[in-house]
Amino acid sequence: MHDIEPWYGWRDYYAAEEDRFSPFYGRQYDEFVFTNKIYNHYIHPQWDDFGSETLYIKLLYVDYEQSFAAIELIGEWNDCIENDIMFFKRDVVDFLLKKKIYHYVLFCDNVLNYHGDDDSYYEEWYEDVKDHDGWICLVNTFEHVEKEMRKYRLHHYMFFDKNLNEMNWRSKNPNLLKEEMENIIFSDPKFLK
């Protein structure tokens, strides 16, 4: 896992550690010292710690005019034991909500497992964005992860589906990503609530 880097192809567009409105503003990264681990596996030092011991993120892109954030995740999303969603909601999402970010895409290519628990933080997040025509979208979830998320009713608060999987998002321009996500989401009748 130590050689899986967060996507660096959008660094010309955005760097969270240089954005004074970012929850990761001012962070410094050492390319040679590996300190963060998921269980006993070291991960690349570019991933950001937000309080979870099993899930790390990278805030890849934020567009304040479009009210949009793109976030990549790695690890095991564990709400059952680690309460990852609480840390993610309180320490990352709430920070971005204060900056009027209401549209979220989470890239789950490296989320290996999901262990659910209560859905109240997801419901709260959904309530925070829906009045602003916002949404939360998961891209490239593994089938077993998606199945577990459905079991815990997360599809009531987030968009995830086969139409959002197998997407080569790294080849896309981040400036156009929000529009493309909305085209996918709202062209499918089952997403309309």
Residue 191: per-residue pLDDT: 62
What is the count of structural domains for the chain?
Answer: 1
Residue 3: per-residue pLDDT: 73
Residue 1: per-residue pLDDT: 58
* Residue 81 domain-assigned (yes or no): yes
* Residue 11 domain-assigned (yes or no): no
Residue 71: φ, ψ to 5°: -130, 130
Residues ≥6 apart with Cβ < 8 Å to 120:
none
Residue 76: per-residue pLDDT: 95
Q: Which domain CATH number covers 86?
A: 3.30.750.24
**DSSP string computed for 48-64:** BP-S-SSEEEEEEEEET
Residues ≥6 apart with Cβ < 8 Å to 183:
none
* Residue 5 domain-assigned (yes or no): no
Task: Kindly give the confidence (pLDDT) of every residue in the chain, 193 residues in length, as a single tens digit, with 9 standing for 90 and above.
Answer: 567 889 999 999 999 999 999 999 999 988 777 888 888 888 888 999 999 999 999 999 999 999 999 999 999 999 998 899 999 999 999 999 999 999 999 999 999 999 999 999 999 999 999 999 999 999 999 999 999 999 999 999 999 988 898 889 999 999 899 999 999 888 876 665 4
* Residue 99 domain-assigned (yes or no): yes
Q: Give the residue numbers spanning the domain of 58.
A: 16-191
Residue 40: per-residue pLDDT: 85
Residue 177: φ, ψ to 5°: -65, -40
* Residue 169 domain-assigned (yes or no): yes
